[in-house]
Amino acid sequence: MNTISKLIPTTKESNTIITDFTKQYDFEHKKDRLYIHWDILSKCNFDCSYCYAKRYYTPNSEWGLIDSYINQELVLKALNLAELPIFLGLLGGEPTIHPRFLDLYEKTVKLIQKHPDSRLYITTNGSTSIFSKIPYYDNVFFLFSIHIEFKHLYGKNYEKVINNIKLMSSRGFKTRVNFLLLPDKKYWGEIWNIYNQLKQIPNISIHPHFLYNDPCELTSLFDYNPEFYEEFKIFAEEPGYFVYENNNEHIKLNDYQIFKNHLNKFKGFKCYNNNYEISWCGDVVNICKKQKVNIKDNLFFFKNIKKIDYMICPYKECNCDGLLKIYKERA
């Protein structure tokens, strides 16, 4: 029987951390739902040194591109054929610089309205002026990622992104800030600056987001040393989304608590991996399963997924919060 082998002080939400856990998942996660992240382009108005998308696309000369709209309509057709509900993300690059972003937005909203368990989220750096033009719909979420390296593109003291976060929250959108944490000490003053501004905005959630070299397997997080965790221990007080449970209890943790306490290791667990990435040109990849198809050649790919089967996790660790959301249980 698994028991709580160690108790570690943590947040206002919970007094303990379960280190000998039997299950792990996002508290809103559903096993039989497809989690699909669609890079609607591979270009951005920023050029962040730590950008995972840029590192992924650049070796094959695929950074800075947008597919034809005809091909993107084929992706939409394949998504519409899916029978399971979809938690769909529009990403990039920066999705809001896509010349037909508003059209893609309307069409993906229509797609998610087919099933009550479907959702749409937009991941954005929040620097553009399009947000006032985006119509409100239920079950649409905005994830603002703040990039301190490019402070100069946000205007005076981050005013563009702060105003856009306030705007979308005030219009009723569920609004979350992915607070990208840079381990380099020269950025720590700016982290405090923007964090203190965000805490003044009502009805948003702040998500501490750690940088990684690879979402799983060989490489790990950037070098976050004990001094960093001590400096920013306030992030342990932000709400947790990820459930850890054993036979006796469960708690919710956020990224800060997970990575500080090395709770991102699931090798040997049953993982119900329903997480798919669609690239700018329609390639569909399940990162952990290493399978790849082009959706334009297989429009029934998502339709043919009737249920989610588990795989035994072969990897050393999970470093991406998209993978931390997946339901896992000890084999």
Specify whether the CB–CB gap between 154 and 187 falls below 8 A.
no
- The verdict on residue 272 lying in a domain is yes
- Mind listing the pLDDT tens digit for each residue in 275-321? 999 999 999 998 888 788 999 899 999 999 999 999 999 988 888 88
Name the token pair of 160.
């563009």
pLDDT at 19: 77
- The verdict on residue 230 lying in a domain is no
pLDDT at 170: 97
- Mind listing the pLDDT tens digit for each residue in 111-151? 999 999 999 999 999 999 999 999 999 999 999 999 999 98
**Residue type present at position 204:** I
- The verdict on residue 303 lying in a domain is yes
| Cβ burial, residue 65 (10 Å; 0-12/13-18/19+) | middle
pLDDT at 322: 85
Q: What is the CA radius of gyration of the chain?
A: 19
In 3-state terms, what secondary structure has residue 181?
strand
Angle between helices 159-170 and 188-198 (to 10 degrees): 30
Residue identified by tokens 């009723």 is: 172
- The verdict on residue 275 lying in a domain is yes
**Residue type present at position 65:** L
Q: Measuring CA to CA, how many Å separate 181 from each of 191, 207, 222, 231? A: 7, 10, 10, 12
pLDDT at 313: 93
Which CATH number covers residue 271?
3.20.20.70
- The verdict on residue 288 lying in a domain is yes
- The verdict on residue 186 lying in a domain is yes
The total domain count for the chain is: 1
- The verdict on residue 106 lying in a domain is yes
pLDDT at 284: 96
List the single range of 85-94, 136-145, 183-192, 248-257 with lowest mean pLDDT: 248-257
- Mind listing the pLDDT tens digit for each residue in 180-227? 899 999 999 999 999 999 999 999 999 999 988 755 454 477 889 999
> Is the pLDDT reported for residue 162 higher than 60?
yes
Tell me which residue range forms the domain holding 162.
Answer: 31-223+266-308
pTM of this prediction?
0.91
